[in-house]
């Protein structure tokens, strides 16, 4: 099993000590790099004066981490693709891939918060789901073309590269049919520079939740990142991805292949200590996100949210938290392997309001007492029980 870190750096009131937040993130990344973690993923959010999400540019953050590490892969979970100009995003991804020596995992998302879209790309407002999805799909198409080909062109609903009628003459750039209409002396293809180090491009991932997004990602060969749901609910989503990918690829794709699962983690000497240390901090994460999403994504299939249901630790813990002793956390990860054939587990350890010392203590316990119980194995073909 591959273990990664989902690094949503957060802390209410920490905007005035952001240099310390960065130093803590660097310490965490170097530790993980030196202790066998596969990947570390940084988030993208904007205008968050509340402190619940502190990183606006995961690629820039990744460049800093790349300079301090040697082995760990550097991901974004995720670049909000609808807020980026697709060519700038492609260039920055390629540059990070070169800076890191080919360690980039490209994570993409469509965007959730209207406050962000209103100030970065009004056309991508998530209240207009159809248009938001269309912009995302076209941006993804441009990314694939630009990162996979020496020269490319694109003409879609929202973007056209290069525009028609772009003349080009320079003695240091000889005319070539590779990128020009030789009769018109106009550019008809462009090239993103630098090229990514990985070929044909770094792996693509998408944070996905809805049935439509799951199907689309599997059809396009995009890896999926899941977070909140219970094991029972996730099973149906994993199966949907597997069935769709199998049809597209013409082979039996094992359950769990192409999927990463984010789980909130805190390891302590006792179950009560885990609750006492980090219970309120993890609830801060969920209070923030569930304001928009509600509690429905935390229910088992067929289960309804009870009237007056409160978001509290007793409600949340049995549903999706890996909070407790090393033995308990090991047991819950074994359940994820048995039920979902999880191959790539991303640990959310930077809970909102949890001190850095406690984050690192938990991480060390996980590294020393949980990780040794799981070694990376070849993908085991999932056989559905009859």
* Strand partners of residue 284: none
CA dist., res. 215 & res. 368, Å (int): 38
> At 364, phi and psi to the nearest 5?
-65, -40
Assigned token pair, 201: 């491009």
CA dist., res. 21 & res. 314, Å (int): 30
pLDDT at res. 126? 92
Q: Is the dihedral of CA 274, 276, 277, 278 positive or negative?
A: positive
CB 92 within 8 A of CB 59: yes
Stated pTM of the model: 0.94
DSSP secondary structure letter of residue 84: S
Identify which of 215, 219, 206 has the alpha carbon closest to the alpha carbon of residue 249: 219
CA dist., res. 363 & res. 357, Å (int): 10
* Strand partners of residue 225: 207, 260
**Beta strand 180-181 with 2-7: parallel, antiparallel or unpaired?**
unpaired
For the chain (length 386 residues), average pLDDT per consecutive 10? Answer: 96 89 98 98 95 95 98 98 98 98 98 94 95 97 98 98 94 95 95 97 96 96 96 98 98 98 98 98 95 92 94 97 98 98 98 97 98 69 35
CA-angle at 352, arms to 357 and 340, nearest 5° = 95
CA dist., res. 135 & res. 125, Å (int): 10
- One-character DSSP codes across 294-344: -SGGGSPTT--PPTT----HHHHHHHH-EEE-HHHHHHHHHHHHHHH---E
CA dist., res. 179 & res. 184, Å (int): 12
Residue 47 exposure: Cα atoms within 13 Å on the Cβ side: 8
**Beta strand 104-109 with 79-80: parallel, antiparallel or unpaired?**
parallel
pLDDT at res. 376? 59
CB 187 within 8 A of CB 168: yes
Assigned token pair, 97: 């891939």
Those residues with Cβ within 8 angstroms of residue 339's Cβ, 6 or more apart along the chain or in another chain: 231, 235
pLDDT at res. 247? 98
pLDDT at res. 14? 86
Exposed/middle/buried for 245, CB within 10 Å: 0-12, 13-18, 19+? buried
CA dist., res. 331 & res. 319, Å (int): 14
CA-angle at 155, arms to 202 and 152, nearest 5° = 45
């Amino acid at each position: 099993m591959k273990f990664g870190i989902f690094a949503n750096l957060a802390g209410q009131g920490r905007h005035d000590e952001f240099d310390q937040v960065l130093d803590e993130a660097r310490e965490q990344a170097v530790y993980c790099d030196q202790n066998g973690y596969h990947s570390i993923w940084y988030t993208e959010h904007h205008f968050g004066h509340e402190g619940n999400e502190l990183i606006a540019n995961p690629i820039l953050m990744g460049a800093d981490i790349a300079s301090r590490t040697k082995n760990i892969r550097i991901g974004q979970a995720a670049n909000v693709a609808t807020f980026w100009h697709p060519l700038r995003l492609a260039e920055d991804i390629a540059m990070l891939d070169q800076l890191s020596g080919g360690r980039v995992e490209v994570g993409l998302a469509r965007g959730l918060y209207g406050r962000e879209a209103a100030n970065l790309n009004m056309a991508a407002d998530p209240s207009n789901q159809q248009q938001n999805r269309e912009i995302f799909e076209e941006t993804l198409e441009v990314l694939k073309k630009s990162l996979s080909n020496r020269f490319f062109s694109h003409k879609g609903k929202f973007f056209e590269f290069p525009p028609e009628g772009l003349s080009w003459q320079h003695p240091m750039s000889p005319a070539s049919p590779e990128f020009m209409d030789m009769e018109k002396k106009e550019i008809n293809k462009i090239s993103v520079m630098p090229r990514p180090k990985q070929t044909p491009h770094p792996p693509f991932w998408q944070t996905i939740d809805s049935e439509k997004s799951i199907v689309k990602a599997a059809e396009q060969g995009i890896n999926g990142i899941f977070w909140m749901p219970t094991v029972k609910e996730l099973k149906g989503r994993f199966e949907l991805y597997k069935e769709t990918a199998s049809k597209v690829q013409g082979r039996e794709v094992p359950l769990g292949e192409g999927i990463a699962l984010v789980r909130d983690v805190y390891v302590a000497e006792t179950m009560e200590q885990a609750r006492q240390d980090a219970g309120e901090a993890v609830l801060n994460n969920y209070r923030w996100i569930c304001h928009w999403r509600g509690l429905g994504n935390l229910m088992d299939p067929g289960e309804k949210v009870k009237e007056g249901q409160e978001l509290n630790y007793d409600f949340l813990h049995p549903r999706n938290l890996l909070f407790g002793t090393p033995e308990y956390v090991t047991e819950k990860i074994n359940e994820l392997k048995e039920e979902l054939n999880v191959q790539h587990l991303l640990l959310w350890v930077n809970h909102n309001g949890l001190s850095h010392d406690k984050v690192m203590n938990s991480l060390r316990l996980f590294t020393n007492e949980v990780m040794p119980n799981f070694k990376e194995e070849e993908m085991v073909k999932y056989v559905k029980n009859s």
